Structures are given as structure tokens and as C-alpha cells.
Amino acid sequence: MTKACKTCHLIVEEAAECPLCKGTDFSEKFNSIALIFDATKSEIAAKLGVSAPGRYAIKVR
Ligand SMILES: [Zn+2]
């Protein structure tokens, strides 16, 4: 099951804990996904407050 971390918005597959922020609060309800390749050059990354490449949910409910 694909889900999004509510804390940092990282998209994860089967995981009990977020590999990025170590959070355990996930949601399966998210609308859009942003692919961040270079967080230092990405406006979306800045907006979401992420600093590592990966797939992120734009809005997590
Ligand atoms: Zn996280």
C-alpha cells in the first residue's frame, strides 16, 4: 500500500516508519505527487520543506 508520511510528505510503500523523518504517522489520502530530483533547485521542495530527493505528496489529508 502506497502511503504518505504526514510529517514530511514522503511517499513510501510498505513501511512502519518513515525512512526520512522516522515518523510513524501515515495517510493513504493524498492528491498529487511531486517528484523531487534536486531539492536545492526545486521550488516545490522549498514549498514542502523537503531537503532530500524522492517522491512527495503535495497535500496529505
Ligand atoms: Zn516522514
CA 58–ligand 1 middle distance (angstroms): 13
Given a cut of 90, whether residue 19 has pLDDT beyond it is yes
Tell me the domains of the chain and their CATH numbers.
3-57 (2.20.28.90)
The pLDDT of residue 41 is 94
Tell me how far the alpha carbon of residue 21 lies from the centroid of ligand 1, in angstroms: 4
**Band (9; pLDDT cuts 50, 70, 90):** very high
Q: What pLDDT sits at residue 46?
A: 92
pLDDT exceeds 90 at position 18: yes
Categorize the per-residue pLDDT at 61 as very low, low, confident or very high, splitting at 50, 70 and 90.
Answer: confident
Distance 25 CA to ligand 1 centre (A): 8
Q: Which residue has the cell 493524498?
A: 30
How far, in Å, from the CA of 1 to the mean position of ligand 1? Answer: 16
Q: With the CA atoms of 44, 9, 30 and 45 taken in that order, what torsion angle do they form, in degrees rounded to the nearest 10?
A: 0
Q: Check pLDDT > 90 for residue 1.
A: no
